[in-house]
Every structure is written in structure tokens, then in C-alpha cells.
């Protein structure tokens, strides 16, 4: 991606996924968006490079692995409860050793990324507010992780039904 194609980076239609080619394109565009996001965190907001990189990596896992790869959804049109489904279910099940330190970093990155999109005028304020609310519900996610580690017998079914990921 070249930087002179910035308009393509913020065009929601470029993130619609219907085919494998669409998914590959969206994944590549998200990579470029995250590079710009990280750059702006450092250059314009004064974040330390390590902090900016950590936030971009957190947003990357949510956007590329969950929203694009697993859900095949447009990053500009997600339903904010997807954050809860990611953090309260998908991350826990898909991660070898889910923990709050890592999940907290991921959610901080997701919140910062959507706040950045909102500041750029590319994401609705109300939706961004809801995403922030889901990203900061750390007690809920801590409880979900603790419950997951304590599962026995067929407890997974009940645990999963408390925060399901719709098809």
C-alpha cells in the first residue's frame, strides 16, 4: 500500500468481505491502517514507540484475527458488542494461556484504534463510545477468564452460553 492511497484506507466499502480476495485485501488494508495508527501515536500524540507498538499489536489481533479472519466482517461496521464476544469468549478459547495482562493490552489497543478512527472522522461517535465501554469492562473479562480456568465436566456449555459468539 502506498501512502498516497490514504483515501482507500478509510473507505468502508474496501473492507467488505465476500470472497477470499476481499479478505486478503481487507487484511492488507488493516495492516496499513495500523502502521499509520502507530506512527500517529508516536509522532502526534507523543507515545513511546514501545507503547504505540503494543497498542497496534492489540488492535491487530482483534481486527485481523477476529473481525476479518474469524467473523469476516467490515472493521468500520462492527457491532460494538463484538468487543465483548472477543474478550469474553474468543480470546479466552483461542489463546493458550489467556490472562488479563495480555487481554488488557489488547483492549487498550482496540479502544485507542477506534478513538483514532473517530478523531479522523471515520467512525461514528456513539459507536466509538460503546466500543470504549466494552473495552474497559475489565472486571467482567477477569471473571470470564477465572471461570474458564475452573471449568469441569460439561461446564463449558454453560460458560459459553453466558457470552456466546453468534454465527
Average pLDDT over residues 27-55: 93
What number of residues does the chain have?
Answer: 167
Average pLDDT over residues 11-34: 94
Average pLDDT over residues 44-63: 92
Alpha carbons within 13 A on the beta-carbon side of 50: 0
Q: Is the pLDDT of residue 1 over 50?
A: no
pTM of the full structure? 0.91
Question: Three cell numbers at 48?
Answer: 513511546
Burial code (b: 16+ CB inside 10 Å, e: under 16) for 106-127 equals bbbbbbbbbbbbbeeeebeeeb
Q: What whole-number distance in Å separates Cα of residue 106 and Cα of residue 91?
A: 10
Strands of the chain, DSSP E: none
Q: What whole-number distance in Å separates Cα of residue 109 and Cα of residue 121?
A: 18
Cα 89 to the center of its chain, rounded Å: 13
* DSSP letter assigned to residue 40: H
73 to 55, 97, 140, 150: CA distances (angstroms): 21, 26, 25, 32
What pLDDT score was predicted for residue 167? 64
Amino acid at each position: 500500500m502506498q501512502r498516497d492511497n490514504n483515501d482507500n484506507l478509510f473507505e468502508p466499502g474496501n473492507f467488505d468481505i465476500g470472497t477470499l480476495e476481499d479478505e486478503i485485501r481487507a487484511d492488507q488494508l488493516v495492516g496499513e491502517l495500523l502502521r499509520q495508527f502507530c506512527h500517529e501515536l508516536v509522532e502526534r500524540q507523543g507515545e513511546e514507540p514501545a507503547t504505540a507498538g503494543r497498542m497496534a499489536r492489540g488492535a491487530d489481533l482483534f481486527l485481523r484475527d477476529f473481525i476479518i479472519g474469524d467473523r469476516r466482517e467490515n472493521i468500520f461496521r462492527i457491532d460494538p458488542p463484538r468487543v465483548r464476544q472477543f474478550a469474553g469468549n474468543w480470546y479466552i478459547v483461542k489463546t493458550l494461556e489467556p490472562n488479563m495482562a495480555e487481554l488488557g493490552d489488547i483492549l487498550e489497543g482496540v479502544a485507542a484504534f477506534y478513538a483514532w478512527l473517530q478523531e479522523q472522522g471515520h467512525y461514528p461517535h456513539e459507536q466509538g463510545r460503546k466500543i470504549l465501554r466494552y473495552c474497559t469492562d475489565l472486571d467482567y473479562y477477569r471473571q470470564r477468564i477465572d471461570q474458564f480456568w475452573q471449568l469441569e465436566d460439561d461446564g463449558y456449555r454453560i460458560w459459553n452460553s453466558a457470552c456466546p459468539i453468534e454465527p
